[in-house]
């Protein structure tokens, strides 16, 4: 197959994948998670049901792909924030603040879905990358003496990501800022009660 | 209708409701959220499909009832813990520790469901009671000077419940204890720097 033709096919496949994810996102936003079927998704995407099954085996796999896409977008931004900030403590603060801000814009049932998925059996690769990014910053900040060393880094990572998960329920950037500072205060305190 | 007969009917209805919720929980645990249908639930409950629709209009309403039942069980325990503990700070600590311990036993996709539901449009009455309980303890602890007064109580409540939501992902009671202490440290610190 000529290269130009295989590139065209590849681009077409990407477009179908993206359109499928978009259609599924719209369906879940409109009617919630339950009741979303492969037939409906195929219809809304404008492709045949048999074609859809060549891309995704079931609804859940589309939801996982959707969540991966969201997290991947966040990750790109967070890596930029990390790389332009100096100092272990300030890096951690800047990345957590950027993460909280990013997810605070996600509202509605289709976004909580992400939490459902990444906490289930199928932890997405993108979410693992997000956890790794935060954990590395926590390890560095602990080594620099900026946060507690009394709690394992993987536990503090879970704490951070969950605590900041409150952001979509808050009203306005000031409240999100207070959430970030409260979460950081939990990391910092040496007095573990 | 004689009273004894109406009581019998009431007990029967409760039994059908509970059996329906149990069957749905088992189905979601076995095959995940998507693909669970009213027909399958009716079959597994051992009732007719038409009968099922007299109890619940859709799958989501059964999931909401299930989540309500879980939270209601936790609430009963948390109120006991609150009432047998003295001092605003110690009450807050004891209740948060009991909550984290309770949810740390919930694992698997059917439990993350709760998070999906109570953060969606349909916030359950039971979850509102849980939030109210925690918020009152936070207000009291702030008034006693035991935690920060720089952040509104409803924001701190969201922070607590989300941060402690990391508990099911932790291994063992020691890790859950560290999570509770980290979360409390976030509430306490006056340095919001």
Reported as a single tens digit per residue, the pLDDT across A132-187 is: 999 999 999 999 999 999 999 999 999 999 999 999 889 899 999 999 999 999 99
Residue B175 is nearest to which of A63, A155, A191, comparing CB atoms?
A: A155
What is the per-residue DSSP string for A31-71?
A: H-STT--HHHHHHHHTS-HHHHHHH-SSHHHHHHHHHHHHH
Residues 113-132 of B with CB under 8 A from A: 113, 115-116, 119-121
Q: Tell me the CATH class for B1-57.
A: mainly alpha
Contact A85, A137 (CB under 8 A): no
Q: What would the two tokens of residue A138 be?
A: 């926590």
> Are B166 and A148 a contacting pair at CB < 8 A?
no
| B1-57 and B59-193 agree in CATH topology | no
> Are A182 and B158 a contacting pair at CB < 8 A?
no
In angstroms, the separation between the Cα of residue A36 and the nearest Cα of chain B is 8
What ipTM score was computed for the predicted complex, to two decimals? Answer: 0.79
Q: Give yes or no for residue B83 having a pLDDT over 80.
A: yes
Instruction: Give the chain B residue nearest A178 (alpha carbons).
Output: B151
In angstroms, the separation between the Cα of residue A58 and the nearest Cα of chain B is 9
Residues near A66 by beta carbon (within 8 Å), at least 6 away in sequence: A21, A24, A25, A110, A113
CA angle A182, A108, A158 (to 5 degrees): 40
Comparing CA positions, the residue from B49, B61, B55 lying closest to residue B120 is: B61
In the block, tokens 């969540």 appear at A67
DSSP state of B165: T
Comparing CA positions, the residue from B112, B109, B100 lying closest to residue B175 is: B100
CA angle B46, B47, B53 (to 5 degrees): 140
> Residue B2: its pLDDT value, please?
67
Residues near B29 by beta carbon (within 8 Å), at least 6 away in sequence: B108, B109, B110
> Residue B108: its pLDDT value, please?
47
Q: Give yes or no for residue B127 having a pLDDT over 50.
A: yes
Residues 141-180 of A with CB under 8 A from B: 148, 150-152, 155-156, 158-159, 161-166, 168-170, 175, 178-179
Q: Higher pLDDT residue, A71 or B160?
A: B160
> Residue A111: its pLDDT value, please?
45
Spans of all domains in chain B:
1-57, 59-193
> Are B186 and A191 a contacting pair at CB < 8 A?
no
Contact B58, A35 (CB under 8 A): yes
Q: Give yes or no for residue A57 having a pLDDT over 50.
A: yes
Contact B144, B93 (CB under 8 A): no
The domain defined by B59-193 folds into: Tetracycline Repressor; domain 2 (1.10.357)
Residues near A128 by beta carbon (within 8 Å), at least 6 away in sequence: none
């Amino acid at each position: 197959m000529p290269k130009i033709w295989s590139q065209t096919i590849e681009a077409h496949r990407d477009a179908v994948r993206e359109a499928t994810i978009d259609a599924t996102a719209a369906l879940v936003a409109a009617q919630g998670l339950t009741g979303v079927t492969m037939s409906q998704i195929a219809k809304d995407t404008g492709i045949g049901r048999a074609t859809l099954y060549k891309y995704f085996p079931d609804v859940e796999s589309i939801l996982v792909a959707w969540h991966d896409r969201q997290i991947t977008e966040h990750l790109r931004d967070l890596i930029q924030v990390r790389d332009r900030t100096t100092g272990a403590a300030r890096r951690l603060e800047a990345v957590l603040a950027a993460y909280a801000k990013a997810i605070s814009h996600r509202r509605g049932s289709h976004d909580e879905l992400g939490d459902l998925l990444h906490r289930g059996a199928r932890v997405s690769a993108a979410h693992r990358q997000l956890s790794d990014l935060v954990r590395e910053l926590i390890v560095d900040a602990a080594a620099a003496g900026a946060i507690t060393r009394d709690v394992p880094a993987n536990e503090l990572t879970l704490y951070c990501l969950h605590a900041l998960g409150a952001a979509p329920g808050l009203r306005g950037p000031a409240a999100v800022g207070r959430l970030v500072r409260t979460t950081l205060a939990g990391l910092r305190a040496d007095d573990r009660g």
